Chains A and B, each alone.
Chain A
Amino acid sequence: MPFGPYHLALEEPVLIKLYVEGERVVGADVRMGYVHRGIEYLMERKPYDECLRLAERVCAICTQAHSQCFAQTVEEIAGVRVPERADYIRVLIAELNRVESHLLLLGLAAHLMGFDTLFMHIWALRERVMQALEELTGNRVQYAITRLGGVRRDVNEKLARAVRNAASEVRKGLERFSKVLEGDATVLARTRGVGTLSKEDAVRLGVVGPVLRASGVEWDVRRSDPYSVYDELEFDVVVRDEGDAWARFMVRYQETLESLRIIEQVLDRMPPGEIYVEVGAVPRGEATTRVEAPRGELLYYVKSTGAPTPYRVRIRTPTIPNIGAAPVLLEEARVADVPVIVGSLDPCISCANRVIKLKR
């Protein structure tokens, strides 16, 4: 039974072939490639600053993670140290991006459970974050705030106040929903014990991000391999032991609150100073860096020969290992639970699809 590539309960094109016996799923297979845009291929043919703009277009919902990760990889090759203020602004946008992304998924999850009132309330809250991002960067999505060597725009007092207000509104709003997520009969019936991933399987399958942390593994790039200024900020890595769809949603819910905590610290501590340094020609060299994107570990590998364009750019997005775990999660599930299980992985299909040759 095909689930996708075009399906009512899927926002993005992916094909999950389900093998079923009656209402029971006995096997599943994943096929991607429906939104291939040739990003790794194009990057080998474009100057570094244009590659940056391309990187943030790998995915609209993890856009800051991509541009930040690409920029820090190139900066490492070039031996450039980004001004501290720029690092703080990058983290500010990245965490607002995480809040926006997690709220998007939580709303979507409510929708997939058939709980549309909750969906609309959560997305109304998300709108506050979108507005704050627009004020900060000029864009609702594709913020384009990162530039090689720093950021493009500064944050003044007025903007900082607007972000603070948005953050406290979102926090209050979220606290209202905790009762619903933890106690509502619909939510619990649709998610508790559904699509359970054991700790052993999570480690064996190499899943990342909230999916891994909801199966009891404490692993977050921001803590395990700190980048930017994360080692100066206080936050908890949210871990749950249940491993089911509910735990995956709850990890994201609690992570949103942690992100708000980070945002407030950034606004308090942001040092004055320059917001970028010039990056000259990128010398021969290579670097591998990663960031914790909303969906988990995102890795970039860049190889430079000193030419104006990169020799090779490799992007490993968090959705690749996570969607790879879908067949294991779906085994023995009921067909009616498939949308919730796939949704709980928060797959970003655009992220996973990057390469194709456009010209013959």
Chain B
Amino acid sequence: MEVEEFLGRLVSEGVVRQYGKRRERRFTAKAERLRVAELADTMRRAGARLPAITCVDLGDDFELVYHFDLGGSLIDVKVRVGKAVPKVASITSAYPVAEFYEREILEMFGVKFEGLPRPEKLYLPDDWPEWDKPMRKR
């Protein structure tokens, strides 16, 4: 119930657009690309952890899924990012752990994170061609 109240507040503040419940302790929500930094700050202040960020290639768009953990409940917040100019704010200042997640998505999908301190390769070899983003769907 607490998580639902919290998500309801986020909707009224406009940080997320809508939310749903998948099952006990599993919630989903949608957020605007331009409000990701605000979302991360709000979650951090609420004491949420960030277990992962997932990138899904949906064809014309990328869907970034920010998996937040609030007291044992997982909240998957989905953010659409256009494929033409894939750009979104980095949340590393609120969550240092996001650095590895964002660097992985950058090299595998080519989504640029503005403000990512070291946008360097993490897994791929240094001579991997810049145009080749291996996890994109063809």
Contact = CB atoms under 8 A, between A and B. Distances in A.
Contact of A355 (B22, B52, B135): B135
A6 to B, nearest CB: 16
A124 interface: no
A31 interface: yes
A301 B134 contact: no
Contacts of B52: 299, 301, 314, 316
Given A225-B72, A357-B134, A312 B25 contact: no
B123 A41 contact: no
A312 B57 CA distance: 8
A188 interface: no
Nearest to B137: A44
A31 B135 contact: no
B72 A40 contact: no
B54 interface: yes
- Residues of B in contact with A, size category: 35 or more
A205 interface: yes
Nearest to B22: A287
B79 to A, nearest CB: 15
B25 A206 contact: no
B interface SS class: mixed
B4 to A, nearest CB: 16
29 contacts: A32-B123, A33-B122, A33-B125, A36-B123, A40-B135, A41-B134, A204-B96, A205-B97, A206-B96, A208-B51, A225-B73, A287-B26, A288-B67, A288-B74, A290-B51, A299-B51, A299-B52, A301-B52, A301-B67, A301-B76, A312-B54, A312-B57, A314-B54, A320-B100, A324-B97, A324-B100, A355-B104, A355-B134, A356-B134
Nearest to A225: B72
Contacts of A357: 132, 134-135
A51 to B, nearest CB: 16
B96 A299 contact: no
A70 to B, nearest CB: 15
Interface of B: 22-23, 25-26, 49-52, 54, 56-57, 65, 67, 69, 71-74, 76, 95-97, 99-101, 104, 108, 121-125, 132, 134-135
Contacts of A321: 97, 100
Contact of A33 (B25, B56, B76, B123): B123
Contacts of B69: 225
B122 A32 contact: yes
Residue among A225, A288, A320 facing the most chain B CB atoms (10 A cut-off)? A288
Contacts of A288: 26, 67, 74, 76
Nearest to B49: A206
Contacts of B54: 301, 312, 314
Interface string A310-350: 01101010001100100000000000000000000000000
Contacts of B67: 288, 299, 301, 316
Contacts of B76: 288, 301
B97 A206 contact: yes
A40 B134 CA distance: 11
Contacts of A36: 123-124
The 4 nearest A-B residue pairs measured at CB: A206-B97, A357-B134, A33-B123, A316-B52
A211 B76 CA distance: 25
A290 B68 CA distance: 12
Contacts of A353: 123
Interface in A213-252: 224-225
Contacts of B135: 40-41, 355, 357
Nearest to A226: B72
A297 interface: yes
B96 A224 contact: no
Given A33-B123, A288-B74, A357-B132, A297 B51 contact: yes
A225 B74 contact: yes
Interface string A289-303: 010000001010101
B87 to A, nearest CB: 21
Given A32-B122, A40-B135, 8 more contacts: A32-B123, A206-B51, A225-B74, A287-B26, A288-B26, A301-B76, A314-B65, A355-B104
Given A225-B72, A225-B74, A301-B52, A324 B26 contact: no
Given A206-B96, A324-B99, A355-B134, A224 B71 contact: yes
B56 A312 contact: yes
B96 A205 contact: yes
A246 B26 CA distance: 36
